[in-house]
Amino acid sequence: MCGIVGAIARPGHSIDPERLDRMNQSLEHRGPDGYGTWIAEDQAVGLGHRRLSILDLSPLGAQPMHSRSGRYVLTFNGEIYNFAELRDELEGSGYSFKGHSDTEVILGAFDVFGVAATLPRLQGMFALGIWDRKKNSLTLVRDRIGIKPLYYGSGPRGFCFGSELKPLMVWQGEVLPISSHGLTEFLRLGYVPAPLSIFEGIYKLMPGHSVVIQNGVLGSPTPFWELSEVIAGSRENQFETEKETLQILESALTESVASHMVADVPLGAFLSGGIDSSTVVALMQRQSTQPIRTFSIGFYEEGYNEAEHAAAIAKHLGTAHTELYITDREARDVIPDLPDMYDEPFADQSQIPTYLVSKLAREDVTVALSGDGGDELFGGYNRYIFVEQFWRRLSRLPVSLRRIIATALDLASPGSWDQVFRVIGLLSRGRMVPALPGQKIQKIASVLSCDSLLSLHSRLVSQWANPELVLQTKYQTKDVLLQKRLRTLGDLDSAEQQMYWDACTYMVDDVLTKVDRASMRVGLEARVPLLDHKVVELAWRIPLSMKLRNGQSKWILRQILYKHVPQHLIDRPKMGFSVPVDSWLRGGVKDWAESLIAMQRLSGDGFFAGPEIHRTWKAHQSGAISAGGQLWTLLMFQAWYEKTKKWL
């Protein structure tokens, strides 16, 4: 795993070697083992690379790397898991190699097959920048699933790209203007969804896409793989029997895990004790002659700790298990580092334990396998089951009637509803009153008015369902990215439709971004075998009835895991991998939070309108509502924006 950068100077200008070097050094954490830069003879284009050595630890694996023909120069971040097969094919045609890195194999394939014909042959996670001397063009490529990040954009100095935003800011030499659309979607979701970034004019390359800059002209991104097409094709080729499905899926998962275990450095795995990570570890251990190194983070707070479950599974499988229990204070101490770590505003609260477990693993290994992707592929989120049932009933009521009911419920504030329920409790002789009834009623009102499955899904995954309430006028926008980008695929059940939407947005821009930034912060390569594109394509051929069954999620994956781990160690309620932000904001980090959302500060920054924010803050502090997620989103932006000025 590595960090990549590059730039093309505007006509009449040249690449400044010192600036290119500073762009490269800004990604030192992604590649602590080495670095390199290359500038073309005419000084119009430059590439940079920070190296985390995984395969071919010798200087023969250093980048930027030139193809044998001299035509291509490559800076590459990621791993190609079928590089050995590609190498054999190329050697069979007479092509020779100096080292044994996957980077050299990619370049050999470019020489023999060409860039466009090579991309469908690559199996792995990758972000590439390829300079073609013959065509005077730069091609950027991102892997099919979006496991590895890639930003790009233009400015007064010319075109630039990088694994993170920091090098693009170094190239431009200034804090770039905030994108109103990017900020709106960040408030809504807690992350900035591709192709947007938080900066105006800077974009994320979409998964499975490439884009070409030729003679200084930026073309349109084009796909070489699209999930929607995979799903459409899977409808005609679905599995029919459970026996066949189990055999083929287990074989595919075993093969994927095996390919992800190839490394010239120490390797281990994250083990949360959940179904996904336990399946990956079980298949790793079955194929290893030595105990696999596994790592878990534990918390002393009840409701946030899965470490004891992970330890029981590790003991059963016979792994070399390491766990570290973190105090509330130790977890909070990570907060000041989050803006630098995540590079772009990011508000998934599990960012903290993800970093801590990455840091723990890096003490012993350089590569760690993760179970990410299982929820989106095999129906793991509780909302898939809930929405399936809820939407069926809700859609029977006319939208006009639902909106009338929602408006009526919204007439009273959460505090007023709380009072009503207290009276009901007294009149019914102490009958139990639900926690925060007023907030729950407002949530019910918000979903009653949804006029489509997509709007319901969007509402359920939102932090601020109406960002315009907290944005100053000039940053308001009615343009909702999810509504524009995501379409409803025909012949999909409501649960499958949600799985598709999550795979396109939440999985890529939240889950995979979280793991990438946290692991790369400590120079650890995280691999995700459940998201090998062959596994993804196979998973969409599995009928929903084999994923969700009798109110249970991931049925098919559980059947495979039960072969290796006793059922009683697995079957328990799903837990989130998170931290108690709600209570932190009322205690341990209250002063820090109040300083970031002080009225004077909000007015001075010019992004947020203070009254609604302070109303929410006060209601949270009083206990009338639990708004930790909403407030954390604002705080993560404020903390990030404060740090950006120090990156130049």
pLDDT classification of 484: cutoffs 50, 70, 90:
low
pLDDT above 60: residue 428: no
Check residue 417 and give its pLDDT.
43
Judge contact between 564 and 289, C-beta under 8 A.
no
Which range in 430-434, 571-575, 605-609 is most confidently predicted, on average pLDDT? 605-609
What pTM was computed for the model?
A: 0.92
Report the DSSP pairing between strands 2-9 and 45-51.
antiparallel
Angle at 225 between CA 344 and CA 69, to 5 degrees: 90
pLDDT higher for 611 or 451? 611
Tens digit of pLDDT for each residue in 391-425?
A: 777 777 777 776 766 666 555 555 554 554 454 55
Lowest mean pLDDT among 174-178, 365-369, 436-440: 436-440
The CA distance from 5 to 46, in Å, is 8
Q: Token digits for 176?
A: 């770039």
pLDDT (0 to 100) of residue 106 = 97
Tell me what pLDDT residue 419 has: 53
pLDDT over 50 (residue 277): yes
More confident residue, 194 or 301: 194
If phi > 0 it is left, if psi is from -120 to 50 it is alpha, else beta; for residue 155 that is: beta
Range 425-429 average pLDDT: 51
Q: Identify the pLDDT of residue 647.
A: 78
CA distance 616 to 627: 7
pLDDT for 469: 86
Task: Choose the catalytic residue: 2, 160, 450, 504.
Answer: 2
User: Which DSSP letter does residue 265 get?
Assistant: S
Q: What is the per-residue pLDDT for 433? A: 45
Domains and CATH numbers, the chain: 2-225 (3.60.20.10), 239-380+505-569 (3.40.50.620), 382-497 (no CATH), 581-644 (no CATH)
Strand partners, 368: 268, 526
Instruction: Write the pLDDT tens digit of every residue in 501-533.
Output: 999 999 999 999 999 999 999 999 999 999 999
Give percent of the chain above pLDDT 90.
66
Distance, CA of 199 to CA of 180 (rounded, Å): 9
Contact between residue 124 and residue 256 where contact means Cβ atoms under 8 Å apart: no
SS3 7: strand
Cα 538 to Cα 554: distance, rounded to the nearest angstrom: 15
- pLDDT tens-digit series, residues 19-35: 999 999 999 999 888 89
Q: How far is CA 461 from CA 105, 374, 438, 531, in A?
A: 41, 18, 20, 22
Mean per-residue pLDDT over the chain, rounded = 88
What pLDDT score does 307 carry? 86
Residue that wins the pLDDT comparison between 554 and 625: 554
The candidate with the shortest Cα–Cα distance to 533, out of 284, 226, 178, is: 226
Comparison of pLDDT for 426 and 392, the residue scoring more: 392
Q: Residue 166: which pLDDT band, with cuts at 50, 70 and 90?
A: very high
Gap between the Cα atoms of 540 and 557, Å rounded = 13
What is the SS3 assignment for 269?
strand
Strands (E), 282-336: 293-299, 320-326
Q: How far apart are CA 371 and CA 364, in angstroms?
A: 19
Give yes or no for a contact between 608 and 470, defined as CB atoms under 8 angstroms apart: yes
pLDDT at 385: 86
Helix, strand, or coil (residue 8): strand
Is 2 noted as a catalytic residue in this protein? yes
